[in-house]
Structure 1
Amino acid sequence: MVKNLYMLPEGLPEPVEDGACDHLQGLALPSVTRPATSGGSVDLSELPGTAVVFFYPMTGKPEQPPMRGWNKIPGARGCTTQCCGFRDRYPEFQALGVSVYGVSAQPLADQKEAVERLRLPYPLLNDTDLKLAEALELPLFDYDGHRYIKRITLLVEGGVIRQVYYPVFPPHLNPTDVLAQLRS
């Protein structure tokens, strides 16, 4: 079976608002340095200006078989479409002076492969040890013996969370929603 990571299948279960991110609005980002696919590391709390930080479970690889049951987890599927959505709208974020970062707990080597394969113009930050996710008390889920960060997008100004997008569904429209907020 061939999987298409660039299209969402019909009938995916929608994630529900469970209040797991209610505490984030107005919170200052903690000082947690994360390795970046662009080399070096990034401490999101030190970012000047406005930034979009989107957390996602993991990007898949086309050559790997489908993950059994992944599509049944509300909000799990769609990381590639979300990453590509931010890629495609990236010039609009740049024009507004907004930086973009993606964050996941998958290995840095997998993130670097995704940046290259998907031609992402923004860095992905590595949170394999979940230090950033835990410092922010982000919702997580377990699958096949691994912990993943649920899909959440933060609009950050001067290191303070100004807007929280949770749950995010469908993920490919998330960049459009964030741009609309930035322009309003």
Structure 2
Amino acid sequence: RLSAFVGDDVAHLAEPGIGVAQPTRLFPSAAALAAIDPELLPMPATRRRALLGACAAVAAGSLAIDPGADRSELARQLVALPGIGPWTAQYVTMRALGDPDVFMPSDLGVRHGLDALGLDSSPRGAAALAERWSPWRSYALHHLWHSLAASPHSPQSPHRSRS
């Protein structure tokens, strides 16, 4: 996804793959990403600082985003970094660590998904509803997000009526 943001500007940072028959690249190291010119990242300055700060922390060894990391501790460390809030920390633990029990009740997609189902979409109501889905709340989160694309009223939906 980073290359989608910056394209060829970071392609040279990728390292050659090892032991493969076809040319391939590995994702750039955290140190390589932390060292890039921030102006190459076409995103708001606050987001650039957060991304590069997290990369620098990973490169320095003070932040470990790997399968052996403690999910709660990682979320705490991420939120302590400037520009990273609870939503991002939870998203990282869900995606990078495979945490099956993340639920973001204030997420706009979650709220719209719950609205479409006629359920309480307030953050408090969503959190209460999601308690019964534990320890698999990440799956419920994904279903709510994907339900939006499947909605007949969604612009992306193949079921949208063509008038």
Greater CA radius of gyration, 1 or 2?
2
Greater RCO, CA 8 A, separation 6+: 1
TM-score (norm 2): 0.27
Specify which structure has the higher proportion of strand: 1
Scaled by the length of structure 1, the TM-score of the pair is 0.25
